């Protein structure tokens, strides 16, 4: 049996085990950092650990590998996709929010071994009615186009109504900049679908969602709101009886599909029950960890740190897309705009060569597939051959921003010299991966 180990970590309110990180109490001051910390993914997409019900100041984001779109000043960036985790939960008419009511028995755990994020707690509403809530989310490691949320609700001291509402929102942005234009949407039974396209790169995203309620007689409504198809399920809560709401979401893009919306709808129809999907997901993680785990004896902090970082690599490295690599901030947020840095192979490739050689091959194939961009950079800097960018994206061209905005709104813009400074260093000291075929 594992014993919880307390570690003097830079992020307070956490406990650690060999295979898990747990948030022991909810602290709004740690909202942003814990959203990053509790990121989940499967090599196709990554989703920040934002709360399903939302919270003031939250920064929800789902990023799909290779789904870039142009942006002024920073060239291009990974596009924020619709938040597949979002739910509006009404308990006897009151909207559940952590900034209202009273919270107890709280824990949120990222299970690194199984790739599952689980949150459980009791919530006492402003009316004084208490429910036990358990939320479980994961991006399938067995089917990379699938992600799921499961909600369990138990009334502890009352009887009343439960309503869960969820949508597919085409109105998402990257810190205020919208990359999407709406194409079409649909509603069929308990399934919703939405198709969007990026404004400049013209990549299409198809999403399909199913929302269902189990454990009690249920009613439902569908609302075909433009760019925001929505479904609501409702039931009566009986004291001490658990009701379950399952949300399944499938994603496809034009990177792997000629008709992303059709393939997303089809994939959703063919899914088996939740428990079988979960078993397949856990089995896939077990297989990966057999070749990837590093055991450190006598240092619990180092053991957890290594496994956590290996987890981040494994949920970002694509098993099938040879047009992408591992961004500097993985798929955990908007930092570095999803750009791939020049030193990715130096720090990450050796581990993958020895443990997951097919992933290592994909990282190198990305460099091969973006060789023309590296050649264009060499020409621009007065060289023959190819020079890989300080920061690259889909084409391999240099996408390091030339300017950054100051924190002080009245300050001067900040010049970013990385790409240029690196060219100077290459002239002085030729570097591997930096100056090929000179």
| φ, ψ dihedrals at 297, nearest 5° | -95, 140
Is the per-residue pLDDT at 414 higher than 80? no
pLDDT of residue 416: 73
- In this prediction, residue 427 carries a pLDDT of 40
Beta strand 14-16 with 242-253 is: unpaired
What pLDDT digit, counting tens, does each position of 218-254 carry?
Answer: 999 999 999 999 999 999 999 999 999 999 999 999 9
Is the pTM of the predicted complex or chain greater than 0.85?
Answer: yes
Separation between Cα atoms, residue 101 and residue 97, nearest integer Å: 8
- Across 360-377, average pLDDT: 96
Q: Is 298 exposed, middle or buried (0-12, 13-18, 19+ CB in 10 A)?
A: exposed
- The pLDDT tens digits for 11-29 are 667 888 889 999 999 999 9
- Contact in structure between 212 and 165 (CB atoms under 8 Å): no
Secondary structure element (H or E) that encloses residue 283, with its range: helix 274-292
* Cβ proximity of 146 and 59 under 8 Å: no
Three-state secondary structure call for residue 56: coil
- The pLDDT assigned to 430 comes to 38
Contacts of 325 (CB under 8 A, 6+ apart): 340, 344, 362, 363, 366, 367
What pLDDT score was predicted for residue 12?
Answer: 67
User: For position 18, what pLDDT does the model report?
Assistant: 87
> pLDDT band at 425, cuts 50/70/90?
very low
The predicted pLDDT at position 194 comes to 98
Residue 68 has pLDDT above 70, yes or no: yes
Q: What is the largest CA-CA distance in the chain?
A: 75
C-alpha to C-alpha distance for 196 and 182, rounded to whole angstroms: 5
Domain boundaries, the chain: 14-271, 302-428
CA distance 138 to 40: 7
Which positions ≥6 away from 52 have C-beta within 8 Å?
85, 86, 87, 89, 135, 137, 149, 151
8 Å CB contact between 43 and 318:
yes
Pick 94 or 428 by higher pLDDT: 94
User: What's the pLDDT at 181?
Assistant: 96
Q: Please, are residues 34 and 48 in contact by the beta-carbon 8 Å criterion?
A: no
Paired residues of 211 in beta bridges: 247
Q: What does the alpha-carbon distance between residue 192 and residue 210 come to, in Å, rounded to a whole number?
A: 6
Calpha distance 329→33 (Å, rounded) = 13
As to burial, measured by CB atoms within 10 angstroms (0-12 exposed, 13-18 middle, 19+ buried), residue 8 is exposed
The CA-based angle 100-106-110, given to 5 degrees, is: 120
Q: Considering only CA atoms, which of 88, 76, 124, 119 is closest in space to residue 104? A: 124
Architecture of the domain delimited by 14-271: Distorted Sandwich (2.70)
As a whole number of angstroms, the distance between CA 216 and CA 233 comes to 11
pLDDT at residue 431 is higher than 50: no
Q: How far is CA 417 from CA 246, 274, 335, 412, 421, in A?
A: 48, 50, 18, 15, 6
| Mean per-residue pLDDT, 381-391 | 93
Q: How confident is the model at residue 402 (pLDDT cuts 50, 70, 90)?
A: confident
The sign of the dihedral angle between the CA atoms of 214, 62, 39, 288 is positive
d(CA 263, CA 206): 8
* 353 pLDDT more than 70: yes
Q: pLDDT band for position 72 (50/70/90)?
A: confident
What does the pLDDT look like over 147-201, one tens digit per residue? 999 999 999 999 999 999 999 999 999 999 999 999 999 998 889 999 999 999 9
* Of residues 276 and 424, more confidently modeled: 276
CB 26 within 8 A of CB 98: yes
Q: What is the pLDDT of residues 74-119, one digit of tens each?
A: 689 999 999 999 999 999 999 999 999 999 999 999 999 999 999 9
Give the H or E element holding residue 232: strand 228-237
Give the pLDDT confidence of 190-219 residue by residue, as tens digits.
Answer: 899 999 999 999 999 999 999 999 999 999
- Mean of all residue pLDDT scores within the chain: 91
Q: What percent of the chain has pLDDT over 70?
A: 92
**Contact at 8 Å (CB) between 16 and 26?**
no
* Rounded-to-integer distance, Cα 432 and Cα 438, Å: 12
Name 50's Cβ contacts closer than 8 Å, sequence gap at least 6.
Answer: 35, 58, 59, 60, 61, 83, 85
pLDDT on residue 401: 84
Quick: pLDDT tens for 282-339: 999 999 999 999 999 999 889 999 999 999 999 999 999 999 999 999 999 999 999 9
pLDDT given for residue 409 in this prediction: 74
User: What is the spatial distance between Cα 204 and Cα 42, in angstroms, rounded to a whole number?
Assistant: 20
- pLDDT value at 422 more than 90: no
For residue 7, pLDDT over 50 is answered with: no
């Amino acid at each position: 049996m594992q014993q919880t180990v307390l570690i003097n970590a830079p992020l307070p309110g956490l406990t650690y085990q060999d295979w898990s990180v747990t948030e022991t109490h909810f602290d709004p001051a740690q909202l942003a950092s814990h959203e990053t910390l509790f990121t989940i993914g499967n090599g196709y997409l990554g989703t920040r650990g934002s709360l399903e019900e939302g919270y003031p100041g939250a920064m929800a984001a789902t990023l799909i590998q290779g789904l870039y779109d142009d942006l002024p000043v920073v060239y291009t960036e990974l596009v924020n996709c619709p938040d597949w985790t979002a739910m509006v939960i009404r308990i006897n008419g009151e909207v559940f929010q952590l900034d209202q009511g009273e919270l107890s028995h709280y824990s949120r755990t990222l299970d690194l071994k199984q790739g599952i994020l689980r949150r459980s707690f009791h919530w006492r509403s402003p009316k004084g009615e208490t429910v036990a809530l358990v939320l479980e989310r994961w991006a399938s490691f067995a089917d990379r186009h699938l992600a799921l949320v499961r909600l369990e609700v138990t009334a502890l001291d009352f009887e009343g109504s439960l309503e869960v509402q969820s949508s597919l929102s085409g109105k998402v942005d990257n810190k205020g900049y919208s990359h999407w234009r709406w194409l079409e949407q649909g509603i069929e039974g308990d399934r919703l679908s939405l198709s969007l396209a990026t404004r400049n790169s013209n990549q299409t995203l198809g999403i399909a969602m199913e929302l269902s309620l189990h454990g009690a007689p249920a009613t439902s409504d569908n609302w075909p709101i433009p760019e925001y198809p929505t479904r609501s399920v409702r039931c009566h809560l009986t004291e001490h009886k658990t009701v379950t709401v399952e949300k399944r979401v499938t994603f496809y893009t034009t990177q792997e599909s000629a008709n992303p919306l059709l393939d997303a709808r089809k994939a959703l129809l063919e899914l088996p029950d939740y428990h079988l999907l979960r078993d397949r997901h856990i089995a896939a993680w077990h297989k990966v960890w057999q070749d990837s785990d590093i055991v450190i004896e006598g240092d619990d902090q180092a053991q957890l740190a290594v496994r956590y970082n290996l987890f981040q690599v494994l949920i970002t490295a694509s098993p099938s897309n040879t047009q992408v690599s591992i961004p500097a901030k993985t798929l955990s947020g908007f930092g570095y705009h999803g750009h791939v840095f020049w030193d990715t192979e130096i720090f990450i490739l050796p581990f993958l060569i020895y443990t997951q050689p097919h992933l290592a091959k994909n990282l190198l194939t990305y460099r091969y597939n973006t060789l023309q961009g590296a050649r264009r950079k060499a020409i621009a800097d007065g060289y023959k051959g190819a020079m890989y960018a300080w920061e690259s994206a889909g084409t391999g061209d240099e996408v390091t921003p030339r300017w950054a905005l100051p924190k002080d709104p009245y300050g001067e813009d900040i010049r970013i010299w990385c790409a240029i400074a690196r060219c100077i260093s290459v002239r002085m000291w030729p570097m591997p991966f930096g100056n090929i075929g000179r």
